[in-house]
């Protein structure tokens, strides 16, 4: 096991521990790092996926915490001769080097551009050469995830033009193709197409492939790198399109993956959570509230049951943050589309604890309610980007918030349109039949206005799904016949199983308490 290697467990030498006091030297390679890169290189050549995963997921983090808390790792030039100057390994090492830099420090503009160049070189190798490697799914997911994150980070950085130095502006002009949105989308799409992953998933449904059953790994001696990168790139495309506000295209990119089933995307917890977060958010913005509620409910239940197993993971804080954001999005969905029957009691209990009071206020649709919608959306939404290059003309202005403000404006406009629908729903829940005149009188509007409101209700409670079919988000429906409104309310399915399971747990607790009592 990698956990037993001396580079991880051995105490640092005097030079290892105290070199940070002397300043960062990119050419200084501690013995533990030499051992790390030599072992990692050997395991990659031997396709020992288990040991690669142990070293990548555990040893790299351990060394980072011990030796490189606030400095970069040694430069690739300093370690290259330990790995026979292998080009692919050096590209992989630099990818990890930049990821560590982004996580622990603040990258300079030159470093952001260099990271883009490294991704381009690495991706060109994977796309156009025979890469005979097996890498862990975790590493391949992190590669796609970090690629999209650095693109997002660069767009946000570039959009803050106000305090840029002349040198930074000159660099932005010179390297205007770095992190270009078309380049990012082209690489992700190229992985999808070159890997033939869509065809592989289709053949798998017919029993012709074992991609999901093998978690994407190739046990016949081949490579999993291109196929799994193609698979995760579909999630990456969803994420990029969400950042751009193009939700329909994003969902279309994810269509080949059946998220109602376990898949390779669920084999990595970060991929699982990111997929459902962006999928749910895109559905929310397209008014497919029922689908968003269903998926948020499933992932929140999964996190609730498994989060204790990820406490030592470097992604633990990110898991908790996404968990809180998805509860906020679920609160929005249920306020706009009251479908509590779709939510498990465990999730519902957590939701009421976190947002019960705010959800009650959100139903009033007054200024305070809109402020809460604004607050929850701002907290839970992705960090939207403006991908276009800045204007270098004076005066220089910041535009990093423009995309977010536009999406917030569109969302609040949708919420305001739902204002009248809340009162319509309240009345329709009371009656099984009611005349148009009577309902118009109750709502203090004339009949033509009421008809418009009812048409709006029909429109806003229906959405077009991914198959182009019109589906209802409403928990009640109605039709009008001879100026009479006939209400059809869907009956919630009673979950007797949940009730009995809770009672069984209580009974077991009582029995345990009784066993502790010693009878005289």
What's the rounded Cα separation, in Å, for the pair 406 and 403?
5
Query: Scanning the structure block, which residue is given the tokens 């969803």?
Result: 238
Q: Angle CA(341)–CA(342)–CA(345) in degrees, nearest 5? A: 70
Q: Please name which of 230, 285, 227, 224 lies closest in space to residue 253, comparing C-alpha atoms.
A: 230
Calculate mean pLDDT across residues 165-179. Answer: 91
Report pLDDT for 313. 77
Tell me if 264 sits within 8 A of 212, measured CB to CB: yes
Quick one: average pLDDT of 395-417?
90
Tell me, yes or no, whether 230 lies in a domain: yes
Q: What is the pLDDT of residue 16?
A: 44
Q: Give per-residue pLDDT as tens, 279-294.
A: 999 999 999 999 999 9
Domain-ending residue, one of 344, 379, 412: 412
Mean pLDDT of 468-481: 76
pLDDT at res. 498: 63
Q: What confidence score (pLDDT) does residue 389 get?
A: 84
- Is residue 518 in a domain? no
At 18, the pLDDT band (50, 70, 90 cuts) reads: very low
| 461 part of a folded domain | yes
For residue 210, what pLDDT is reported?
A: 79
Q: What SS3 state is found at 256?
A: coil
The reply to whether 382 and 452 lie within a common domain is no
Better-scored residue on pLDDT, 471 or 375: 375
Give the range among 91-100, 151-160, 318-327, 506-515 with minimum mean pLDDT: 506-515
Two tokens, residue 22:
């002397």
- Tell me whether strands 470-472 and 462-464 are parallel, antiparallel or unpaired: antiparallel
- What is the average pLDDT across 311-323? 86
Tell me which residue has tokens 């809109």. 370
d(CA 292, CA 284): 6
Same domain, residue pair 464 and 394: no
Does one domain contain both 176 and 262? yes
Average pLDDT over residues 384-406: 87
- For residue 74, give Cα distances in angstroms to 13, 16, 99, 147, 376: 16, 12, 13, 21, 42
Residue 360 domain flag: yes
484 vs 505, higher pLDDT: 484
Mean pLDDT of 39-56: 94
Q: pLDDT-derived band of residue 4, with 50, 70 and 90 as boundaries? A: very low
What is the chain's Cα-based Rg? 27
**Same domain, residue pair 218 and 289:** yes
pLDDT of residue 513: 79
Q: What is the pLDDT at residue 264?
A: 92
Percent of the chain with pLDDT over 70: 92
Residues 231 and 324 in one domain: yes
Specify the pTM. Answer: 0.86
Rounded to whole angstroms, the Cα distance separating 20 from 228 reads 38
Domain count of the fold of the chain: 2
Give domain status of residue 363, yes or no. Answer: yes
Helix, strand or coil, per DSSP, at residue 293: helix
| Shared-domain flag, residues 205 and 308 | yes
Looking at 412, 446, 462, the residue that finishes a domain is 412
The Cα 372–Cα 100 span in angstroms is: 36
- Give the pLDDT mean for 263-270: 92
Nearby residues of 229 by Cβ (< 8 Å), 6 or more positions away: 126, 140, 143, 144, 191, 195
**Per-residue pLDDT tens over the stretch 424-439:** 777 787 888 888 888 8
Integer CA distances (angstroms), 318 to 103, 284, 307, in order? 12, 22, 11
Q: Let me know whether 458 and 382 are in one domain.
A: no
Instruction: Write out the residue range of the structural domain in which residue 468 sits.
Output: 431-489
Residues 320 and 448 in one domain: no
Q: 178: closest CA among 236, 229, 238, 118?
A: 118
pLDDT for 400 beyond 50: yes
Whether the CB-CB separation of 171 and 206 falls below 8 Å is answered with no
Whether 7 maps to a domain, the answer reads no
Sign of CA dihedral 50, 51, 52, 58: positive
Question: Do residue 339 and residue 464 come from a single domain?
Answer: no
**454 shares its domain with 408:** no
Rounded to the nearest integer, the mean pLDDT of the chain is: 87
Low-confidence winner among 208-217, 250-259, 462-471 (lowest mean pLDDT): 462-471
**What pLDDT is stored for residue 492 in this prediction?**
53
Q: Is 97 part of a structural domain of the chain? A: no
Residue 6: band (very low, low, confident or very high) from pLDDT cuts 50, 70, 90: very low
Q: Are residues 331 and 363 in the same domain?
A: yes
The verdict on residue 92 lying in a domain is no
**pLDDT above 70 (res 21):** no
For the cut 60, the answer to whether the pLDDT of residue 8 exceeds it is: no
Residues 379, 477 within the same domain: no
Residue 520's pLDDT is what? 52
């Amino acid at each position: 096991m990698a956990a037993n290697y001396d580079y991880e467990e051995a105490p640092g030498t005097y030079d290892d521990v105290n070199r940070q006091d002397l300043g960062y030297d990119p050419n200084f390679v501690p013995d533990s790092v030499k051992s790390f890169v030599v072992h990692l290189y050997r395991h990659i050549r031997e396709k020992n996926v288990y040991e690669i995963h142990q070293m990548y997921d555990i040893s790299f983090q351990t060394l980072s915490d011990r030796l490189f808390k606030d400095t970069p790792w040694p430069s690739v030039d300093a370690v290259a001769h330990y790995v026979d100057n292998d080009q692919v390994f050096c590209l992989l090492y630099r990818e990890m080097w930049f990821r560590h830099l982004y996580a622990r420090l603040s990258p300079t503009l030159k470093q952001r551009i260099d990271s883009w160049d490294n991704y381009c070189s690495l991706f060109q190798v994977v796309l156009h050469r025979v890469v005979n490697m097996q890498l862990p799914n975790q590493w391949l997911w992190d590669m796609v995830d970090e690629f999209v994150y650095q693109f997002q980070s660069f767009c946000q950085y570039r959009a803050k033009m106000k305090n840029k130095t002349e040198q930074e502006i000159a660099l932005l002009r010179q390297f205007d193709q770095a992190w270009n949105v078309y380049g990012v989308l082209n690489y992700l799409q190229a992985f999808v197409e070159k890997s033939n992953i869509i065809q592989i998933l289709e053949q798998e449904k017919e029993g012709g492939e074992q991609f999901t059953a093998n978690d994407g790994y190739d046990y016949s001696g081949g490579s999993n790198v291109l196929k799994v990168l193609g698979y995760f790139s579909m999630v990456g495309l969803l994420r990029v399109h969400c950042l751009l506000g193009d939700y329909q295209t994003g969902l279309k990119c994810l269509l080949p993956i059946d998220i109602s089933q376990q898949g390779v995307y669920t084999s990595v917890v970060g991929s699982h959570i990111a997929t459902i977060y962006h999928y749910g958010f895109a559905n929310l913005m397209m008014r497919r509230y029922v689908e968003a509620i269903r998926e948020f409910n499933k992932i929140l239940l999964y996190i609730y049951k498994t989060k204790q197993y990820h406490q030592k993971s470097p992604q633990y804080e990110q898991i908790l943050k996404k968990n809180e954001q998805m509860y906020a999005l679920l609160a929005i969905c249920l306020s706009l589309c009251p479908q509590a029957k779709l939510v498990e009691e465990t999730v519902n209990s957590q939701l009421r604890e976190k947002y019960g009071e705010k959800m009650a206020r959100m139903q009033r649709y007054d200024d305070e309610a809109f402020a809460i919608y604004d607050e929850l959306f701002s907290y839970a939404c992705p960090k939207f980007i403006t991908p276009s290059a800045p204007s270098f003309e004076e005066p220089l202005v910041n535009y990093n918030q423009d995309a977010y403000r536009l999406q917030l404006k569109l969302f609040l406009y949708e919420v305001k349109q739902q204002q009248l629908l809340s009162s319509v729903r309240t009345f329709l829940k009371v009656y099984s039949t009611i005349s148009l005149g009577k309902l118009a009188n109750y709502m203090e509007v004339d009949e033509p206005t009421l008809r418009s409101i009812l048409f709006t209700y029909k429109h806003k409670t229906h959405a077009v799904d991914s198959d182009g079919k019109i589906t209802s988000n409403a928990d009640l429906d109605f039709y009008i016949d001879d100026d009479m409104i006939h209400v059809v309310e869907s009956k919630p399915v009673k979950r007797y199983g949940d009730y009995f399971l809770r009672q069984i747990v209580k009974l077991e607790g009582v029995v345990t308490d009784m066993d502790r009592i010693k009878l005289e």
